[in-house]
Amino acid sequence: MEEGILEALKAAYGLGVERLDVRRFGSGHIHKTYRVDTGSEDYILQAFNDQVFKFPEHISANQQYLLDQFDPKDLPFSLPLPIVNDRGTFFTHLGGELYRLFPFVNGITKDAIEQAGQAKIASEAFAHFVLIFLQADAERLMDTIVHFHDLEKRFEQFDVALKSPNVQVNSATKEMIGFYHGMRELLEKYLVYRKELPLRVTHNDTKINNLIFSEDMEKVNALIDLDTIMAGFVFYDFGDLVRTVACTKDESSLEWDKIQVDMNKYEGLLEGFYSVLGGKIQQRELESLPFGGEMMTLIMGLRFLTDHLMGNVYYQVAYPEQNLHRAQNQAALLRALIAKRGEIEVLEKKLKNKLSL
Ligand code: GN1
Ligand code: MG
């Protein structure tokens, strides 16, 4: 990172140190994230992606609204918000970029987890997030990305990309196009839920690497990536956990034939959501949770494939075919989830009995 930018950041955040040690950090696909070491204190620095998040002021307003609604002490983990700069704002403009600085939270982030017990801990944390804001007026939140989890719109964007693709459509791409077209039946179900279910304050990016666990993996220290907090359905947040936790290979794996649903982790996730939100949200919302696993896997696969067709304009990629590969990975998981519908139903009954729901 340029020396001039670092100097300006030191001034903006009053970091009275000689030297900043700055390294790329994490595995997010949107912002560029750095770990900053000042010798005495660590921070997370983020070069904000304003092509993806076109309304940074909506993010700040949402976070302020939520801060006014709850006492952070009521949460068993932290929600690290950006540090205010010398102008009293969250965003710092430097060299044509927008930067934010966050307190560094100690702990462990994972792209995949090993045990069902950890799945339950992760699930309880995200369910707790929904729980604490149940009384807030979700409709007061502004969209930080319009139509973010709108499956209908995502299919429309897919159709547009198909009309004039910016890449050679090879046979693997054709196969994926066919697969995702075939999944439109899930859209029907989505539209029914969308009519029936209440909007809640949801995190909307509950992939497992957006949690910071304690060193011993016994609890969650923080929930991060708060830019997508908006009004949504509870099944979105459960669904993205299923997508990133209850699978035998993570999103970046190329071993598609080894992708299966891990039913023990699935059980941990369902038990976590049931135990925190059971009796607090509608029965119909509890019933929608497994659909979320399929729907969120579908929407991510569809977005990856659309981005591949568009020529990788949205997600950061390490090589040109990566978005196609991500779409292939998600297709394998979606097939596996659909094949497990019967077993998942049995699990729902078992856990409802166990928790008297
Ligand atoms: C993005 O920034 P990151 O990697 O946590 C994306 C999510 C996708 C995810 C797929 C704003 O999240 O919607 O689920 O990649 N975030 C945005 O890994 O598009
Ligand atoms: Mg992230």
Would you kindly state where each structural domain of the chain is located, as residue ranges?
3-103, 116-355
Q: Alpha helices of the chain — where are they, by DSSP H?
A: 3-12, 56-69, 116-132, 151-163, 171-182, 185-196, 234-245, 263-277, 283-310, 322-339, 341-354
Q: What local confidence, expressed as pLDDT, does residue 48 receive?
A: 96
Phi-psi region of 14 (alpha: psi -120 to 50; beta: other; left: phi over 0): left
Q: What local confidence, expressed as pLDDT, does residue 93 receive?
A: 95
251: Cβ below 6 Å to ligand 1? yes
Residue pair 285/235 in contact by the 8 Å Cβ criterion: yes
Whether 298 shows a pLDDT value over 90: the answer reads yes
Scanning the structure block, which residue is given the tokens 């394998």?
332
Q: What local confidence, expressed as pLDDT, does residue 68 receive?
A: 87
- Give CA–CA dist 181/200, Å, rounded: 29
Whether 71 shows a pLDDT value over 90: the answer reads no
Distance 225 CA to ligand 1 centre (A): 9
Report pTM.
Answer: 0.96
pLDDT > 90 fraction of the chain, expressed in percent and rounded: 92
Interstrand relation of 42-48 and 97-103 (parallel, antiparallel or unpaired): antiparallel
Distance 316 CA to ligand 1 centre (A): 10
- Give CA–CA dist 207/110, Å, rounded: 10
* pLDDT tens, residue by residue, 274-283: 999 999 999 9
- Give CA–CA dist 134/157, Å, rounded: 32
Amino acid at 150: D
Averaged pLDDT, 97-120: 95
More confident residue, 155 or 64: 155
Whether 169 shows a pLDDT value over 90: the answer reads yes
CATH number among 3.40.1190.20, 3.30.200.20, 3.40.309.10, 3.90.1150.10, domain 3-103: 3.30.200.20
Which residue has the least CA distance to atom 17 on ligand 1? 30
Whether 235 shows a pLDDT value over 80: the answer reads yes
* pLDDT tens, residue by residue, 9-67: 999 999 988 888 999 999 889 999 999 999 889 999 999 999 999 999 999 999 989 88
Ligand 1 atom closest to residue 210's alpha carbon, by position in its atom list: 5
Distance 353 CA to ligand 2 centre (A): 35
Scanning the structure block, which residue is given the tokens 């390294």?
23
Q: Is 241 exposed, middle or buried (0-12, 13-18, 19+ CB in 10 A)?
A: buried
Averaged pLDDT, 87-115: 94
Which residue has the least CA distance to atom 1 on ligand 1? 29
128 pLDDT band, cuts 50/70/90, is very high
Residues in the chain: 357
Rounded to the nearest integer, the mean pLDDT of the chain is: 96
Whether 1 shows a pLDDT value over 90: the answer reads no
Which residue has the least CA distance to atom 19 on ligand 1? 30
Averaged pLDDT, 340-356: 98
* pLDDT tens, residue by residue, 237-274: 999 999 999 999 999 999 999 999 999 999 999 999 99
Q: What local confidence, expressed as pLDDT, does residue 341 receive?
A: 98
Distance 260 CA to ligand 2 centre (A): 23
Q: Tell me, which fold does domain 116-355 have in CATH?
A: Aminoglycoside 3'-phosphotransferase; Chain: A, domain 2 (3.90.1200)
Residue pair 268/234 in contact by the 8 Å Cβ criterion: no
Ligand nearest the Cα of residue 25 is: 2
207: Cβ below 6 Å to ligand 1? yes
Distance 225 CA to ligand 2 centre (A): 5
Residue pair 136/277 in contact by the 8 Å Cβ criterion: no
Ligand 1 atom closest to residue 300's alpha carbon, by position in its atom list: 14
Give the DSSP letter of residue 164. S
Q: What local confidence, expressed as pLDDT, does residue 2 receive?
A: 86
Q: What local confidence, expressed as pLDDT, does residue 313 receive?
A: 97
218 pLDDT band, cuts 50/70/90, is very high
Averaged pLDDT, 297-312: 98
Q: What local confidence, expressed as pLDDT, does residue 280 receive?
A: 98
Per DSSP, the three-state class of 32 is strand
300: Cβ below 6 Å to ligand 1? yes
12: Cβ below 6 Å to ligand 1? no
Ligand nearest the Cα of residue 314 is: 1
Per DSSP, the three-state class of 31 is coil
Q: What local confidence, expressed as pLDDT, does residue 69 receive?
A: 85
307: Cβ below 6 Å to ligand 1? no
Whether 74 shows a pLDDT value over 90: the answer reads no
Which residue has the least CA distance to atom 13 on ligand 1? 205
Q: What local confidence, expressed as pLDDT, does residue 267 receive?
A: 98
Which residue has the least CA distance to atom 7 on ligand 1? 205
225: Cβ below 6 Å to ligand 1? yes
Residue pair 334/298 in contact by the 8 Å Cβ criterion: yes
Q: What local confidence, expressed as pLDDT, does residue 300 receive?
A: 98
Residues 6 or more apart in contact with residue 78 via CB below 8 angstroms: 72, 105, 221, 222, 223
